[in-house]
Amino acid sequence: MSQPLLEYINFRVRSKLNMVSAAQPIIDQILTDIPIHVKAAVISMQRLNMLPPKEVQYNLEREAEAHYNTHTQEELYRFLSLPVDFQSIKHFEIYPQIEKTFMPVANEHEARRRYIQNGDYTYLVRMNSIVPDGPVKPRLILTPWPELTDGVLILNYNTDGSVDGLDYLDERYWEAVSDQVLLELNLVSPDKAERSLGQLNSQNINMNGNARVNNGPARLRAKFFGGKGMPF
């Protein structure tokens, strides 16, 4: 799979390292570690609301799965399997629209209790394995399950920063993400990385009127992990 953002970051990192005459083994090791730095940069920028959420759409009839009691075979809940790069929910919408709002809860017991006692609609994200020592499969549990003809759930979520899941970020975001990576590697100054965030924020203001991207902060500070950045 082509990874244009990763290729762009690798090019910028290699160029900076060549400027300081870094040895080839050092360059190779740094490039090998780039996906880790990209992950950190993406997660940090998501916290600043500087990156858009990723979107996925589900058919609530066809893609619903059920979890059963292993002894009684009673259905405990229905859920949607979330993308492998899922980190957290930004928001979701259900169509056709329903009157009640789904509120977050901590566990299935609380979801059942609130629905039985108050008729509350709730959602829960489980990140652990369904079976002991099995793979972690994030899933979204809705209580009660929406019984809708041709029902659709549109989920907007923050990713875990995995580089093979960032193809939804267009070129408008590349410089700011790459500058955060360069900052971690001390290959760009904190001021340069902060300017990139500010420019990205200004672009989104121009595109969205007076609103900042995802209601992001007006004053942005680049996250600095190392010592003094190099003056590039």
**Residues facing residue 55 across a β-bridge:** 156
Find, among 52, 5, 50, 45, the residue nearest to 157 by Cα: 52
Read off the tokens for 112: 């059942």
Give the C-alpha separation, 77 to 205, whole Å.
Answer: 42
Domain regions of the chain by residue span? 4-52+169-215, 54-157
One digit per residue, the tens of pLDDT, for the chain of length 232 reads 458 999 999 999 999 999 989 899 999 999 999 999 999 999 999 999 999 999 999 999 999 999 999 899 999 999 999 999 999 999 999 999 998 999 999 999 999 999 999 999 999 999 876 666 777 789 999 999 999 989 999 999 999 999 999 999 999 999 999 999 999 999 999 999 999 999 999 988 776 654 445 554 444 444 433 333 333 3
Q: What is the pLDDT of residues 122-167, one digit of tens each?
A: 999 998 766 667 777 899 999 999 999 899 999 999 999 999 999 9
Q: Contact, 13 vs 181, CB < 8 A?
A: yes
Q: How many Å apart are CA 55 and CA 49, to the nearest integer?
A: 15
Cα(154)–Cα(159) distance, integer angstroms: 15
DSSP letters for 55-91: EEEEETTTS-EEEE-TTT--EEEEEEEPPTTEEEEEE
CA dihedral over 95, 100, 102, 108, signed as positive or negative: negative
